[in-house]
Structure 1
């Protein structure tokens, strides 16, 4: 009798799970397993406690799903490479779904996924060619016919949940409570959605009911926080599949909101394809001309002010405080704070991207790092779009709802002074009980000067960046996958406006 270990990774669900469906059809005994890797906990991990708690809630929900089928989810602890090796040596087969990974997870997969006895399923809309350059860049053009390939994934029938399973032959070594106690997982963030397929399905249904409102809530940060889908953590951990979300959205009445959200489903797959094509996105600039840009200009005071939300630019500061307090900011605010860090503060992109990745509950390397590089034009193909924080405040928080929520020291200022508090007349400060420079800092840099300097710097590098793109490897990393697909444009009219990107 052969045991088939269904190794759950970023697929914490029993519906639309290719590995589980195949194991149920082909195996004598099915053993669902998740390995708790200590490397993702503690001071060296790049995951905040709120994200770990969300993962644990997904695991508890997945365990309930398996128990309803007559089985259970076995929680093991340790390095997955060692744990899977032991199971393979015992005669078990391992089935798992392919995932787009980076850094430690990629090394884990390189060690395990080609092993005899391991079967990998790639039904996710991503192309996985074997041809690779020595630096890891994909050796073929994955974009030729990519739209059709991705659309076929979205439109195919979902893999059904098994009707029933036998008892899991593998026993759990730990419980979720054990793990939380061992690593002192005590989230401090507020307003974090509950993890798990049940909670994700409820959230998806509620969002689809208000999908027609999506165009008006996607960009204002307060509205997005309260009423956008907030499905990205469920997709990150696979409590829902991208196909489940896509097909549920298609069941809604036709509207611009449905069209916009559909485009984001494709953008989600697009950026996962980018990381699958070249794993270096998380570590170094995709265009070699921009590698190390501003690394030598590191300013600890600027970096600290940005992280703490004390730059003197209210929209930036509110977004950074929201990020650290809730683990969420919408796409527009992610673009704002990233470009402010690089273009305006002249800081090397990597520490900022890592900081955001740590705090986001929905942190996905394929979205976070590719977006940082794209927004800060480390590709050489994107526009140098220097978001104006005051303009963003006037247009997307005109009544100060977002700024007042996260910068209460400015709450008493009249609306018209929130975009640029430093220009507030002294008598207005006095009548409002707000002292700029004491209660809230003056801007740490002069925006117009730094924005112009950034544009000039990138313009001076433009010829070299374009020359680097003549290398087929660099060109394949930087090019787009959305050929032929119409994508809604959310540009606010800023210089160099670009099409909307992943905004779950």
Structure 2
């Protein structure tokens, strides 16, 4: 039997004409919410609406972690909205049919929403809603949450957008009152919501999952700026310290329980406090860490802009030369990688950690992708759904940008290939992280675990498997293939256009330089990207962290 997504109230109910809908998506907050603020300022009736969309829930990348983030954030938001005098109508159904049903009861004239930078489904969904609105004479007003420019942007203007949207305008105050009649409040409150969570996607909420709501967002931000953030610079590379030293704001930025502008401006305020009191404990270290965090907030928009500018990057590499790259996509290797049974201890620990907690620091995520694509030779599109599902902070723009960058198919960046044994020695020397997530190895000393690339584990020692492939040999050959595809004159010419559309420019918050050094002009003009030198690398060294010169390191986003 087909279920009606939004039931009608009794015949005696008559809704007043006009009014607006605030369509809640990834903006689960009342403070610094431009869409809501404008709706309340311009209309005498505003109905907040959140939709559980069956097709969105059925997407391959949607997981129980995402469903839980929605429902947890929504639960607190609903309490806050009630204190503001309104009620959220939580519907179950596709967007167009749901709005049609809502409008039959509440004849709204406007829909206010934020500009969502999502994957193909949400992109097409939003287009369908706009088409429906045109047919019904409904005005759609979308407001940005970041410096990402709808439809693409001249990369030379991104700094200007950042300053005009994030730096200059103060964050908006919390909306204290949302106008809605008592009849509409009652109707919204009594509308049946989605079916029990367990019936949808096997929902559960382990204690290891980070809380996602507006209160938790501010508590996390406060603890980072007042206590944990001192160790950010230098502490976010190791999986042992990143859970504490990292900001842990990525999940809140992803689901909109905190805005980018709120995070940026609160951090700037904390920096000003430190500058007024330079003698404060560890003030120099604090300033270095917080400036590093601010730079990564800017880089976050840089990567999301790529998906907005080129939505097709969800399905094909940014550089078309890599269309010719054929991955092996061995299903057994894919399953071993997913389950954390590749025989590369640090990779397996990361995959098990992600499956349990939904979080790991950027460097470890990058390593897991690098090994999957270069050593196991899995296509980045093949590993996308699983990784998206175990990232509680799943942000499509960052996700696809980083998948392609770590796979080496962007065509304008130095190709990085992480050696998992070298990374383990550098960032988990005592194997504390590894043995936490791989109990099969707890009886072995760290030195033995770190030697598995040269002396694989024996069945008499542990049930943990030996490496499934020769990492060094397979990775070296694959990276050579990547460079071959990008080294033709035609590919190099295309790389110039890729850089023009997607390459980074100078950050509006560059790292302070020593007065004794003159700023370098390298990378500040749109010159043709050159193939990086390999002379600095030592590919014959099995402990080499990367097979080729790393160049400028990739920022750890908002770890």
**TM-score between both structures, scaled by the size of structure 2:** 0.81
* CA deviation profile, 1:413-437 (whole Å, cap 9, x unmatched): 11222223364699xx8xxxx735x
Deviation, 1:223, is: 1.4
**Count of matched residue pairs:** 484
* CA deviation profile, 1:234-272 (whole Å, cap 9, x unmatched): 111101111111111112245111011101110111111
2:276 aligned with 1:281: no
2:512 aligned with 1:500: no
Aligned residue in 2 for 1:171: 188
1:80–1:480 CA distance, 2 compared to 1 (3 A): same
RMSD: 2.6
Q: For structure 2, list consecutive stretches of 5 or more residues without a partner in the other structure.
A: 1-16, 275-286, 514-543
Distance 1:307 1:400 in 2: 21
* CA deviation profile, 1:101-131 (whole Å, cap 9, x unmatched): 221100011122463423323333335355x
2:423 aligned with 1:406: no
Aligned residue in 2 for 1:134: none
Aligned residue in 2 for 1:118: 139
1:263/1:488 contact within 8 Å kept: no
Distance 2:249 2:388 in 1: 17
* CA deviation profile, 1:313-338 (whole Å, cap 9, x unmatched): 11111111111122111100110010
1:413–1:245 CA distance, 2 compared to 1 (3 A): same
1:324/1:359 contact within 8 Å kept: yes
1:215/1:260 contact within 8 Å kept: yes
Distance 1:45 1:299 in 2: 19
Name the SS for the 1:76 alignment partner: strand
Distance 2:294 2:490 in 1: 32
Name the SS for the 2:494 alignment partner: coil
**TM-score between both structures, scaled by the size of structure 1:** 0.89
2:60/2:385 contact within 8 Å kept: no
Aligned residue in 2 for 1:258: 290
Distance 1:127 1:422 in 2: 43
2:355 aligned with 1:324: yes
Q: 1:290 aligns with which of 322, 330, 350?
A: 322
Aligned residue in 2 for 1:54: 69
Deviation, 1:181, is: 4.7
Distance 1:219 1:129 in 2: 32
Aligned residue in 2 for 1:388: 419
Aligned residue in 2 for 1:133: none
Q: For structure 1, list consecutive stretches of 5 or more residues without a partner in the other structure.
A: 131-137
Name the SS for the 1:31 alignment partner: strand
2:246 aligned with 1:231: no
2:86 aligned with 1:79: no
2:146/2:260 contact within 8 Å kept: no
* CA deviation profile, 1:341-370 (whole Å, cap 9, x unmatched): 111112211111221001111111111111
Distance 2:501 2:351 in 1: 30
Distance 2:221 2:308 in 1: 27
1:227–1:211 CA distance, 2 compared to 1 (3 A): closer
Distance 2:512 2:311 in 1: 28
1:333–1:425 CA distance, 2 compared to 1 (3 A): closer
Distance 1:314 1:445 in 2: 13
Deviation, 1:87, is: 4.2
Distance 2:150 2:179 in 1: 36
1:323–1:229 CA distance, 2 compared to 1 (3 A): same
2:456/2:466 contact within 8 Å kept: no
